[in-house]
């Protein structure tokens, strides 16, 4: 729709531009600058050109190996949580009531995990999993399972994954529920008339109609999980050792732990670039999927 | 194909104990013969969709029974009743091709592969869908999608009845004609019991052998299109069928005469015994009243406007407080708006409290 | 006051939805935009309202160019196919809303709302909310809200399409009265030729973004400039057959010779296409001068007052509408007659060359 152009709008947006410039663009430029320097933040800069980038992308160097290891951890993590959250979210959405007061109750309960600040989520699970005072840790150890997320790598991963599933499955469920609600009753009636089994109803009607919504859910969860920082950091701190050190945690270790700002800046830029590419790919897929679904040619 | 019997069937969405007057469908008993084409016609809220849903099994009635070929199906689920339904908007399975859509009901019932293929080919041919069998169903136009919806119902050879819930709502006007005649041709070819719900009288009258006119949860009249047109049993039927609808004016009727606005018009039947205290009205369709130059023997009327419909013209006239529509003969013109009305006595009916009174010849 | 479109073209995604359309609308006249879906009726209304800007051409009000003006600066009101009312406000408040936006005083709002309600027979419902009303009443509320604004231009986009058949009829008979009482310029879009005929006024036939013909409704109906106009303005669909005239005889396609009588007489020799509406076909009844065709019945639709007989003649599908009840069975062969004095003759390019009555 061609709205008639109003020049005054630009003046209203100007303050926002200035603020964004100040708080985002300038710092970004600083980081870009640092990535080409060797510095420890004490105002002494030694030009390094693309040295950090070369080191970063070379798995045989210390920096490179740490980067790639954490990158694989991220990808593994995203894959696992998607494989759990998406089917689980669909099942939850399918089991939710469609009408009546129960709907409101379910929606509120589902929304609760999404409303908790992320570091609080991390803290909840950190305490929850402690073998001495945490309910989960205590119970598990008492029934014979040796559970300790601080010292055991598998336990640490399991805890981080379960925490993310607990935190975010509701989002997938709510999105799927919205998608399901938009299916007119007539489809279910027609399926009944056609003698379709419950599974056939799911595959032939519900899943296709939830397509777009599922795509959004998958994209959101992938992007968010790829950028994850707060929750695992609070629970495991990246440990034991570096077994749950994701790229973001690695970055913080280098920047704030070692004060190796040049390396950190280079790493953060590469990380940023990966995320932007991922976002762009998903955006293209989404808008193309939308165009693909353009209904029939001719009268409608 | 099945004969459908409705035995004292009634339904209220507010439960069985609700006030009888508030029932969405008031008690009705009817028999619909096997292979008949029926239309349920009436304005929104008249109960036609409720009745259709009761027959298809989507809604369980508050009261009464439904029998298919003598078998009580009232407690049967939709699946067990073996009916098929076409909805207001096309319902198709997005992920499947046209052929797969048509095969779906047969697959679910475990029919053998070659038999499915043969049946699908047969139905596709009847519906002119053969060129599209391998196309993804979502890519077709709305009327083609409705045909697929219909085809899924027809592909089962043992279907008891095919129900239509205002199926032409989303179809373009030019294509409505095609689809309508196709439905009629199909009915003839397949000898199925078809029940068609609509608020459009043209759709109902052109499709059905028997039209059931409903109003406020009741069946007002059930008959062939000619019967409904020629002899409406209720003023509502007279008003609802025909465009423009029947003229209904209060009158005094005595013997073979009716008095409207001080003027007497002749009737073709005698009415001596009219219910006392009833509101007496006279009904005549605009097709059987024509305007003529004013004359002393004719009912005087004022022409308010003339509608030119291309093939016929109707005049909207005023007689005292009453408004009527009348036909304008071709080539008719008058200097001012006063005219006389000529009535075809054989087509004038008398109604007492909105119900038709049978006169004596 | 007058509103005009001057050689307007509108492009959407590289496709012209409106192509070089010029129209003039005068006060006191109802203009009907008639055409199938996607022919450009809604696009034209949006251009008139100022919701969209044309890629080329101008929109003029009283001769002044208002093409760049935003819709809020124009005096326009619109009624849509879906009854659009504020669901949480009462009917009274709904109708009053444009006046409140204009900042009118309470007393004036009261009078104008009550007048509009009276005109549209909504007085008993002023305290109800739209969801408590029937479809027809909701649409009346929307119309009242459009009228009360006192806008100079009122646009109605298929306002009756979502209503029950009988309600549509009722509202349609009242619309002319409402239009006259209001005095604004009304533009009414519809896909149904019968609505155009019933509303009268002027009709603009639209097809694929072009305005094919504009004029007084009965005139456009009886003298379509092109075959396309005749097809848009026919319901049931127009019947068409080709003829070849040589000397004193015409030859209908798929074989049949007849005398070149009626409108054919004055035609120069050559090939033409003859169009006739369903009611211009009769059953062969021995009347002199008719051209008789044998045809096979495919299906008969009976409405009680008339019968629509669908026939097939030499690969062509025709429809005849006959008065009364005619029970022809599918496959039966009947004879239909055409009066050569009562047809539309078009040249091979689709332009009208002969029509009944003086041109």
pLDDT in tens, B62-100: 889 999 988 898 888 887 888 888 988 889 898 889 999
Q: Which chains touch B (3 or more CB pairs under 8 A)?
A: A, C
Enumerate the residues of chain B whose CB falls inside 8 A of the CB of residue C279. Answer: 310-311
- Which of B311, B314, B318 is the best mutation test for C, with the most CBs of C within 10 A? B311
> Do residue C215 and residue C251 come from a single domain?
no
Q: Kindly list the averaged pLDDT for each block of 10 residues, start to end, along chain A of length 300.
A: 62 88 88 84 77 85 88 93 94 88 91 93 91 88 86 90 94 93 87 85 88 87 90 87 88 84 88 88 77 41
What is the model's pLDDT at position A1? 42
What is the model's pLDDT at position A281? 85
Chain A: residues touching B (Cβ < 8 Å): 184, 186-187, 189-190, 192-197, 200, 203-205, 208-209, 293, 295-300
What is the model's pLDDT at position C359? 45
- Which of B308, B310, B347 is the best mutation test for C, with the most CBs of C within 10 A? B310
Average pLDDT over residues C102-124: 87
CATH number, residue C341: 2.40.50.140
Inside any domain, residue C230: no
Residue pair A274/A68 in contact by the 8 Å Cβ criterion: no
For B259-307, the pLDDT digits (tens) are: 887 788 888 888 888 888 888 999 999 989 999 888 888 888 888 888 8
Average pLDDT over residues B95-120: 89
> Do residue C17 and residue C162 come from a single domain?
yes
Cβ <8 Å between B185 and C191: no
> Do residue C32 and residue C84 come from a single domain?
yes
User: Do you know the residue count of chain C?
Assistant: 359
Least CB–CB distance from C53: residue in A4, A299, A300 = A4
Least Cα separation, residue B105 to chain A (angstroms) = 5
Chain B: residues touching C (Cβ < 8 Å): 43-45, 172-174, 177, 180-181, 184-185, 188, 199-202, 205-207, 225-226, 228-230, 239-245, 285, 287, 305, 307-311, 316
What is the model's pLDDT at position A299? 33
Cβ <8 Å between A186 and B87: yes
Inside any domain, residue C234: no
What is the model's pLDDT at position A196? 84
The ipTM, to two decimals, is: 0.76
Domain end among C195, C225, C255? C225
Share the mean pLDDT of chain C: 86
Helices C91-102 and C106-119 meet at what angle, rounded to 10? 130
What is the model's pLDDT at position C229? 93
Least Cα separation, residue B128 to chain A (angstroms) = 18
Confidence of residue C358 (pLDDT cuts 50, 70, 90): low
Cβ <8 Å between A299 and C36: yes
Smallest CA-to-CA distance from A149 within A245, A236, A242, A249 is with: A236
Inside any domain, residue C155: yes
Place of tokens 């084409």: B37
The domains of chain A are located at 32-292
Enumerate the residues of chain A whose CB falls inside 8 A of the CB of residue B135. Answer: none
**Percentage of the residues of chain C whose pLDDT score is greater than 90:** 16
User: What is the C-alpha to C-alpha distance for residues B284 and B301, in angstroms, rounded to an integer?
Assistant: 16
Cβ <8 Å between A4 and C50: yes
> Do residue C80 and residue C208 come from a single domain?
yes
Inside any domain, residue C232: no
Output the 3-class SS for chain A: CCCCCCCHHHHHHHHHHHHHHHHHHHHHHHHHHHHCEECCCCCCCEECCCHHHHHHCCCCCHHHHHHHHHHHHHHHHHHHHHHHHHHHHHHHHHHCCCCCHHHHHHHHHHHHHHHCCHHHHHHHHHHHCCCCCCHHHHHHHHCCCCCCCCCCHHHHHHHHHHHHHHHHHHHHHHHHHHHHHCCCHHHHHHHHHCCCCHHHHHHHHHHHHCHHHHHHHHHHHHHHHHCCCHHHHHHCCCCCCCCCCCHHHHHHHHHHHCCCHHHHHHHHHHHHHHHHHHHHHHHHHHHHHHHHCCCCCCCC
What is the model's pLDDT at position C13? 83
Structure tokens at C264: 């054919």
Q: Regarding the domain delimited by A32-292, which CATH topology (the fold level of the hierarchy) does it fall under?
A: MetI-like fold (1.10.3720)
For C209-236, the pLDDT digits (tens) are: 899 999 998 889 999 999 999 999 988 8
Cβ <8 Å between A1 and C38: no
Residue pair B153/B86 in contact by the 8 Å Cβ criterion: yes
Classify residue C351 by its DSSP letter: B
Residue of A nearest to B152 (CA): A194
> Do residue C69 and residue C179 come from a single domain?
yes
What is the model's pLDDT at position C67? 84
In chain B, residues 106-135 whose CB comes closer than 8 Å to chain A: 108-109
Structure tokens at A283: 């955006």
What is the model's pLDDT at position A300? 29
**Enclosing H/E stretch for B201:** helix B201-207
More confident residue, A289 or C342: C342
Domains of chain B listed by start with CATH number: 4-240 (3.40.50.300), 247-357 (2.40.50.140)
Determine if the pTM surpasses 0.80: no
Residue of A nearest to C72 (CA): A4
Cβ <8 Å between C302 and B205: yes
CA distances from C280 to B281, C121, C322 (A): 37, 40, 9
Q: What is the CA radius of gyration of chain B?
A: 24
What is the model's pLDDT at position C265? 85
For B136-174, the pLDDT digits (tens) are: 888 888 888 988 988 888 888 788 889 999 888 878 777
CATH number, residue C177: 3.40.50.300
Cβ <8 Å between A197 and B108: yes
C15 by DSSP, 3-state: which? strand
> Do residue C23 and residue C109 come from a single domain?
yes
Structure tokens at A17: 């531009």
User: What is the C-alpha to C-alpha distance for residues B194 and A67, in angstroms, rounded to an integer?
Assistant: 70
Least Cα separation, residue B14 to chain A (angstroms) = 16
In chain A, residues 281-300 whose CB comes closer than 8 Å to chain C: 299-300
Residue pair B324/B245 in contact by the 8 Å Cβ criterion: no
Smallest CA-to-CA distance from B146 within B91, B100, B195 is with: B91
> Do residue C328 and residue C278 come from a single domain?
yes
CA distances from C242 to B86, C270, C271 (A): 39, 11, 7
Average pLDDT over residues C150-175: 84
Total structural domains within chain C: 2
Average pLDDT over residues C192-201: 87
- Domain that includes residue C269, residue range: 239-354
Residue pair B268/B346 in contact by the 8 Å Cβ criterion: yes
Average pLDDT over residues B27-56: 89
Task: Decide if pLDDT at C1 tops 80.
Answer: no
> Do residue C29 and residue C140 come from a single domain?
yes
Inside any domain, residue C83: yes
Inside any domain, residue C233: no
Share the mean pLDDT of chain B: 87
Enumerate the residues of chain C whose CB falls inside 8 A of the CB of residue A300. Answer: 37
User: What is the C-alpha to C-alpha distance for residues C143 and C156, in angstroms, rounded to an integer?
Assistant: 9
Inside any domain, residue C258: yes
For C48-101, the pLDDT digits (tens) are: 888 888 888 888 888 888 887 777 778 888 898 888 889 888 999 999 988 888
User: What is the C-alpha to C-alpha distance for residues A194 and B79, in angstroms, rounded to an integer?
Assistant: 7
User: What is the C-alpha to C-alpha distance for residues C52 and C47, in angstroms, rounded to an integer?
Assistant: 5
Domain end among C194, C225, C256? C225
Least CB–CB distance from A189: residue in B78, B94, B153 = B78
Domain end among C177, C198, C225? C225
- Which of B307, B325, B327 is the best mutation test for C, with the most CBs of C within 10 A? B307
- Which of C305, C318, C326, C329 is the best mutation test for B, with the most CBs of B within 10 A? C305
């Amino acid at each position: 729709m061609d709205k008639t152009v109003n020049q005054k709008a630009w003046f209203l947006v100007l303050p926002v531009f200035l603020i964004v410039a100040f708080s985002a663009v300038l710092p970004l430029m600083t980081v870009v600058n640092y990535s080409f320097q060797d510095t420890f933040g004490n105002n002494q800069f030694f030009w390094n050109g693309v040295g950090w980038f070369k080191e970063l992308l070379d798995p045989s160097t210390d920096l490179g190996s740490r980067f790639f290891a954490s990158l694989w951890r991220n990808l593994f993590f995203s894959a696992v949580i998607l494989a759990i959250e998406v089917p689980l979210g669909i099942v939850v959405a399918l089991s939710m009531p469609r009408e009546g007061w129960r709907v409101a109750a379910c929606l509120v309960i589902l929304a609760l995990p999404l409303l908790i600040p992320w570091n609080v989520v991390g803290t909840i699970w950190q305490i929850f999993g402690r073998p001495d005072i945490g309910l989960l840790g205590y119970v598990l150890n008492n029934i014979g399972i040796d559970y300790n997320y601080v010292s055991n790598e598998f336990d640490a991963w399991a805890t981080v994954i379960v925490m993310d599933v607990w935190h975010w499955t509701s989002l997938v469920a709510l999105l799927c529920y919205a998608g399901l609600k938009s299916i007119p009753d007539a489809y279910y009636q027609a399926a009944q008339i056609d003698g379709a089994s419950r599974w056939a109803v799911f595959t032939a009607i519900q899943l296709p109609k939830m397509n777009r919504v599922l795509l959004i859910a998958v994209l959101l969860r992938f992007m968010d999980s790829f950028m994850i920082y707060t929750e695992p950091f609070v629970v495991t701190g990246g440990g034991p050792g570096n077994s749950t050190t994701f790229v973001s945690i690695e970055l913080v270790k280098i920047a704030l732990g070692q004060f190796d700002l040049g390396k950190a800046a280079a790493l953060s830029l590469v990380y940023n670039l990966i995320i932007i590419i991922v976002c762009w790919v998903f955006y293209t897929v989404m808008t193309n999927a939308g165009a693909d679904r353009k209904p029939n040619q001719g009268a409608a | 194909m099945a004969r459908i019997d409705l035995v004292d069937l009634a339904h209220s969405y507010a439960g069985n104990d609700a006030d009888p007057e508030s029932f969405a469908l008031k008690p009705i008993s009817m028999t619909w013969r096997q292979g008949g084409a029926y239309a349920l016609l009436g304005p929104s809220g008249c109960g036609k969709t409720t009745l259709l849903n009761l027959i298809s099994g989507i809604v369980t009635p508050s009261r009464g029974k439904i029998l298919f070929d003598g078998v009580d199906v009232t407690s049967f689920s939709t699946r067990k009743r073996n009916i098929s339904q076409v909805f207001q908007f096309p319902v198709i399975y997005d992920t499947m091709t046209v052929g797969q859509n048509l095969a779906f009901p047969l697959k679910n019932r475990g029919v053998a592969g070659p038999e499915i293929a043969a049946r699908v080919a047969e139905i596709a041919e009847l519906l002119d869908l053969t060129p599209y069998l391998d196309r993804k169903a979502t890519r077709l136009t709305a009327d083609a999608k409705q045909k697929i919806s219909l085809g899924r119902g027809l592909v089962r050879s043992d279907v008891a009845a095919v129900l239509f819930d205002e199926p032409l709502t989303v179809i373009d006007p030019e294509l409505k004609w095609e689809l309508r005649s196709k439905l009629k041709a199909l009915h003839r070819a397949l000898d199925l019991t078809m029940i068609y719900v609509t608020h459009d009288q043209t759709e109902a009258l052109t499709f059905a052998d028997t039209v059931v006119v409903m109003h406020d949860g009741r069946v007002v009249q059930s008959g062939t299109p000619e019967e409904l047109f020629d002899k409406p049993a209720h003023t509502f039927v007279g008003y609802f069928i025909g465009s423009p609808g029947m003229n209904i004016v209060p009158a005094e009727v005595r013997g073979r005469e009716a008095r409207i606005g001080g003027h007497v018009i002749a009737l073709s039947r005698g009415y001596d015994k009219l219910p006392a205290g009833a509101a007496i009205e006279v009904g005549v369709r605009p097709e059987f009243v024509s305007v003529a130059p004013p004359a002393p023997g004719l009912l005087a009327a004022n022409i308010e406007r003339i509608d030119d419909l291309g093939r016929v013209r109707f005049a909207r006239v005023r007689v005292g407080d009453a408004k009527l529509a009348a036909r304008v003969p071709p080539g008719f013109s008058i200097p001012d708006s006063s005219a006389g009305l000529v009535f075809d006595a054989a087509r004038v009916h008398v109604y007492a409290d909105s119900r038709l009174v049978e006169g004596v010849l | 006051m007058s509103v005009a479109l001057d050689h307007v073209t509108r492009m959407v995604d590289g496709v012209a939805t409106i192509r070089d359309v010029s129209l003039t609308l005068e006060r006191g006249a109802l203009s009907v935009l008639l055409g199938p879906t996607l022919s450009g009726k809604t696009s034209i209304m949006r251009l008139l309202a100022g919701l969209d800007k044309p890629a080329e051409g101008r929109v003029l009000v009283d001769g002044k160019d208002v093409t760049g003006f935003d819709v809020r600066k124009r005096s326009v009101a619109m009624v849509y196919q879906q009854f659009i009312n504020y669901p949480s406000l009462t009917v009274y408040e709904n109708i009053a809303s444009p006046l409140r936006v204009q900042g009118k005083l309470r007393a004036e709002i009261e009078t104008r709302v009550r007048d509009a309600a009276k005109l549209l027979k909504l007085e008993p419902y002023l305290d109800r909310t739209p969801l408590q009303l029937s479809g027809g009443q909701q649409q009346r509320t929307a119309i009242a809200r459009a009228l009360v604004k006192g806008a100079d231009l009122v646009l109605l986009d298929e306002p009756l399409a979502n209503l029950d058949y009988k309600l549509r009829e009722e509202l349609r008979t009242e619309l002319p009265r409402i239009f006259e009482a209001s005095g604004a310029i009304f533009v009414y879009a519809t896909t149904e030729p019968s609505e155009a005929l019933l509303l009268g006024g002027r009709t603009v036939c639209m097809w694929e973004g072009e305005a094919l013909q504009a004029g007084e409704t009965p005139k456009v109906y009886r003298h379509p400039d092109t075959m396309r106009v005749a097809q848009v303005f026919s319901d049931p669909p127009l019947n068409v057959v080709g003829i070849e005239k040589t000397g004193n005889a015409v030859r209908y396609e798929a074989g049949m010779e007849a005398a070149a009588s009626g409108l054919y007489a004055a035609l120069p020799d050559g090939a033409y296409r003859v169009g006739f509406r369903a009611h211009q076909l009769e059953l062969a009844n021995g009347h002199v001068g008719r051209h008789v065709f044998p045809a096979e019945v495919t299906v008969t639709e009976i409405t009680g007052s008339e019968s629509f007989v669908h026939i097939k003649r030499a690969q062509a599908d025709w429809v005849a509408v006959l008065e009364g009840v005619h029970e022809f069975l599918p496959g039966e062969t009947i004879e239909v007659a055409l009066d050569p004095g009562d047809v539309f003759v078009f040249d091979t390019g689709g332009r009208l060359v002969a029509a009944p009555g003086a041109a």
